[in-house]
């Protein structure tokens, strides 16, 4: 049988070389090289050997070129077989949006219950991915939090204050206390085998009460190893008033008893500081909460402290560097952005 003759124009032969070198899709690159080699006079069996493809595949490429032209050869129409699960996607998606599965094993069982179709874990995982699902760590929100009150506070109180502060018309600070306990802080680490962290004896605690400036990220803080009381809060307010004299000062804080008492309110009034109390159970709206997480991740996680003094100094030194080191300021700018997580609803996962 005489060799098949395929007429390839000079323009297509030249374009095939360019597409072979530059097209992002490997399958199209192979088609273009096939066309280029045919244009240069290679026979089908030689092209098949060079590309390590069957002669039938080479013949199909050339037939496609003859029927659909150069652009047809660049177009990939193969979609593969469709899964029987795809037609049940709306039902499965609605169920999984309402109550996300904890694992592929659970998803597999629920899919079988919903559709009557049993698939391997690998096929189920692929189906979940096609729906746009992926494994994510759950977050947490206090059970008594009121999402509506949080949104109202965020939109009507917090954001107007922050815009005013960004224009240089006032100072806005976020205040809270943290209690760091000398104990093992387990964490994820890259390792070849499981690592065990030593735990120091005793229950030494370092208390920190601080206020972080919303726009400059400057921290004002006090430390002790006993208790945070109303007197401690008063000391912090006096220090804040001294540092930020000249403009109105607003402090966003939670409803802890030692912050909501008469002594603190009376002192704030005397110092011309406006206390803005968050809705109950709203740590997600208090910027300084992110700072405490930063400290635990950078100082405490997977770290052993041989004694209370080392533990205390490590935290105090780290916090004192926030206002001095450029690298720290850069990290804070990212971590303490003025975007706040709001919750339209919270889910209670059930089996």
User: Picking from 18-22, 32-36, 184-188, which range would have the lowest pLDDT averaged per residue?
Assistant: 184-188
Residues 185 and 287 in one domain: yes
In a domain, 1, yes or no: no
Q: Which of these, 336, 221, 240, lies nearest to 289 by C-alpha position?
A: 336
- The pLDDT tens digits for 21-54 are 888 888 899 999 999 999 999 999 999 999 999 9
Is the dihedral angle over the CA atoms 319, 323, 325, 328 positive or is it negative? positive
pLDDT attached to residue 189: 77
- Write out pLDDT tens, residues 80-125: 566 788 889 999 999 998 899 999 999 999 999 999 999 999 889 9
- Domain termination site, one of 65, 100, 130: 130
Host domain of residue 201: 149-335
In a domain, 247, yes or no: yes
pLDDT at 243: 95
Domain with 188 in it: what CATH number? Answer: 3.30.420.10
**221 and 100 both lie in a single domain:** no
Q: Please check the confidence at residue 270 and state whether its pLDDT lies above 60.
A: yes
93/153 same-domain check? no
- 201, 294: one domain: yes
Rounded CA-CA distance 271/240 in Å is 9
Total number of domains constituting the chain:
3
Spatial distance between the Cα atoms of 139 and 349, rounded to a whole number of angstroms:
12
Query: Would residue 21 count as lying in a domain?
Result: yes
Mean of the per-residue pLDDT values of the chain: 89
Q: Average pLDDT of 260-276?
A: 95
Same domain, 256 and 277: yes
Of 86-90, 194-198, 258-262, which gets the smallest average pLDDT? Answer: 194-198
* Confidence bin at 2 (pLDDT 50/70/90): low
Question: DSSP string covering 27-77, please?
Answer: HHHHHHHHHHHHHTT--HHHHHHHHT--HHHHHHHHHHHHHHHHHHHH---
CA–CA dist 184, 197 (Å, integer): 7
The DSSP bridge pattern shows strands 219-224 and 249-253 to be: unpaired
**pLDDT range class, residue 288, cuts 50, 70, 90:** very high
The answer on 168 and 126 residing in a single domain is no
What is the model's pLDDT at position 330?
81
- Higher-pLDDT residue of 108 and 189 is 108
Q: In the predicted model, is pLDDT for residue 190 greater than 60?
A: yes
Q: Are 206 and 279 contained in the same domain?
A: yes
Cα separation, 46 vs 72, in Å, equals 23
Same domain, 213 and 114: no
Is residue 276, in this structure, part of any structural domain at all? yes
- For 211-243, what is each residue's pLDDT tens digit? 999 999 999 999 999 999 999 999 999 999 999
Does residue 213 sit in the same domain as residue 240? yes
Does 192 lie in the same domain as 236? yes
Residue 259, pLDDT score: 93
In a domain, 24, yes or no: yes
Same domain? For 267 and 231 the reply is yes
Q: Is 137 a member of any domain?
A: no
Is residue 298 situated within a structural domain?
A: yes
Q: Output the pLDDT for position 204.
A: 87
Could you tell me if 97 and 188 lie in one domain?
A: no
The confidence band for 4, taking pLDDT boundaries of 50, 70 and 90, is low
Answer yes or no: is 44 within a domain.
yes
């Amino acid at each position: 049988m005489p060799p098949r003759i395929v007429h390839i124009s000079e323009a297509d032969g030249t374009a095939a070389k360019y597409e072979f070198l530059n097209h992002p899709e490997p399958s199209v690159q192979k088609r273009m090289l096939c066309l280029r080699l045919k244009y240069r006079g290679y026979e089908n069996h030689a092209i098949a050997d060079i590309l390590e493809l069957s002669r039938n595949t080479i013949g199909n490429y050339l037939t496609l070129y003859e029927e659909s032209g150069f652009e047809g050869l660049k177009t990939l129409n193969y979609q593969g077989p469709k899964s029987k699960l795809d037609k049940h996607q709306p039902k499965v998606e609605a169920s999984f949006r309402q109550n996300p599965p904890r694992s592929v094993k659970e998803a597999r069982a629920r899919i079988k219950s919903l559709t009557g179709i049993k698939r391997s874990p690998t096929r189920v995982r692929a189906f979940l991915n096609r729906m746009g699902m992926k494994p994510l760590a759950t977050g947490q929100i206090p059970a008594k939090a009121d999402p509506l009150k949080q949104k109202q506070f965020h939109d009507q109180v917090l954001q107007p204050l922050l815009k005013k502060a960004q224009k240089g018309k006032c100072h806005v600070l976020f205040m809270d206390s943290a209690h760091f306990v000398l104990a093992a802080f387990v964490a994820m680490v890259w390792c070849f085998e499981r690592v065990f962290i030593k735990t120091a004896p005793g229950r030494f605690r370092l208390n920190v009460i601080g206020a972080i400036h919303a726009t400059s990220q400057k921290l004002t803080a006090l430390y002790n190893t006993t208790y945070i009381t109303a007197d401690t809060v008063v000391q912090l307010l006096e220090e804040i008033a001294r540092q930020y004299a000249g403009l109105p000062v607003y402090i966003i804080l939670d409803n802890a008893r030692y912050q909501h008492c008469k002594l603190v309110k009376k002192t704030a009034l005397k110092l011309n500081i406006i206390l803005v109390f968050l809705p109950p159970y709203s740590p997600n709206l208090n910027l300084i909460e992110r700072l405490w997480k930063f400290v635990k991740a950078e100082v405490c996680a997977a770290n052993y402290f041989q004694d209370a003094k080392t533990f205390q100094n490590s935290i105090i030194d780290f916090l004192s560097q926030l206002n001095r080191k450029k690298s720290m300021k850069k990290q804070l700018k990212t971590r303490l952005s003025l975007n706040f997580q709001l919750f339209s609803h919270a889910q209670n996962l059930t089996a």
